[in-house]
Amino acid sequence: MMFAYSRVPKLDLHGEYAVTAYTTVHNFLQDQIKLKQPYVILIHGKGTGKLKEEVHKILSKEPNVLEYYLDSKNLGQTIIHLKVEK
């Protein structure tokens, strides 16, 4: 999917603990769904991979997430496609 990265809402999770990421990610996704944003980006960094794993676990359980995948241009962020009403 091609889109302008500069126009996609982003949440930077650098410095966030994996155990507290759920609330931050969940609230961000809910806000973006209300704003009818079909795509968002979560920036988790590369690091040890623990935060990325936790983010992907959260996304796999979110009912309004249609798909998510690592950005091939930046493996430190995940692109999420959300189910939004038109």
Examine residue 47 and state whether it is found in any structural domain, yes or no. Answer: yes
Q: How many domains in the chain?
A: 1
pLDDT at 84: 93
Which of the four pLDDT bands, split at 50, 70 and 90, describes residue 1?
low
Q: Give the contacts of 71 (CB within 8 A, at least 6 positions apart).
A: 41, 77, 78, 79
Q: Residues 15-39: what's their mean pLDDT?
A: 94
Examine residue 48 and state whether it is found in any structural domain, yes or no. Answer: yes
Would the pLDDT of 62 be above 70?
A: yes
Examine residue 69 and state whether it is found in any structural domain, yes or no. Answer: yes
pLDDT at 18: 82
